[in-house]
């Protein structure tokens, strides 16, 4: 069952200490703090699946950034596959009632995105963050296996 994204928010200590952030369980790590790594690992693993990375960004003064991949209908993040509309609805609800922000396509490589948006890349974490993302990703079905599956 999908949990609100705020369930996985990093503490101030985890935000300030990359090692503490890295040491969290996979679901928490790839939901908040390393969602961008998981998204780019998905794209690297399934380059022909028709997915693209998207960035939910909060307006200045708000929390709640998130990176996921989508094919325009289905989205994927650390909690698995869901309709993109459902992901966005749940994200907004988790930060309601006053959250403000937007969603844009990411059109640059991971290094450039991370640098421009103050997101940690695999090079910022202890060794093995990229491999950890690939191993975590392997527990989910390939996108091609989703035809006709129900996603809320």
- Per-residue model confidence as pLDDT tens digits over 40-56: 999 999 999 999 999 99
Structure tokens that stand for 20 in this block? 């503490």
Could you give the maximum distance between any two Cα atoms of the chain, in Å? 42
What percentage of the chain has pLDDT greater than the value 90?
84
pLDDT at 132 over 60: yes
Is 152 contained in some domain? no
- How many structural domains are present in the chain? 1
Percentages of the chain per state (helix, strand, coil), in multiples of 5:
45, 15, 40
Q: How confident is the model at residue 107, as a pLDDT?
A: 97
Is 60 contained in some domain? yes
Which structural domain range is residue 63 located in? 36-141
Taking the C-alpha atoms of residue 75 and residue 24, their distance in angstroms, rounded to an integer, is 23
pTM: 0.93
Q: How confident is the model at residue 89, as a pLDDT?
A: 94
Is 10 contained in some domain? no
Q: 26-57: buried (b, 16+ CB within 10 Å) or exposed (e) per residue? A: eebbbbbbbbbbbbbbbbeebeebebebbbbb
pLDDT at 147 over 80: no
101-105 and 66-70 beta bridge pairing: unpaired
Backbone angles phi and psi of 100, in degrees to 5: -130, 140
Instruction: Say if residues 111 and 121 touch (Cβ distance below 8 Å).
Output: yes
Residue 123: DSSP 8-state:
G
Instruction: Say if residues 110 and 36 touch (Cβ distance below 8 Å).
Output: yes
Report the pLDDT averaged over residues 61-77.
94
Report the pLDDT averaged over residues 10-25.
95
Is 8 contained in some domain? no
Is 26 contained in some domain? no
Is 57 contained in some domain? yes
Is 47 contained in some domain? yes
């Amino acid at each position: 069952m999908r949990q609100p994204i705020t369930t996985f928010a990093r503490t101030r200590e985890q935000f300030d200490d990359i090692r503490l952030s890295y040491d969290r369980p996979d679901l928490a790590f790839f939901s908040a703090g390393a969602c961008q790594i998981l998204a780019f690992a998905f794209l690297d693993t399934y380059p022909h699946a028709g997915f693209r990375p998207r960035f939910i960004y909060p307006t200045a003064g708000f929390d709640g950034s998130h990176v996921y991949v989508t094919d325009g209908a289905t989205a994927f993040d650390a909690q698995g596959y869901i309709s993109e509309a459902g992901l966005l609805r749940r994200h907004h609800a988790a930060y309601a009632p006053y959250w403000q922000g937007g969603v844009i396509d990411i059109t640059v490589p991971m290094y450039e995105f991370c640098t421009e948006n103050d997101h940690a890349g695999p090079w910022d974490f202890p060794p093995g963050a990229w491999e950890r993302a690939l191993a975590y990703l392997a527990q989910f079905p390939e996108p091609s296996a989703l035809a006709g599956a129900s996603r809320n």
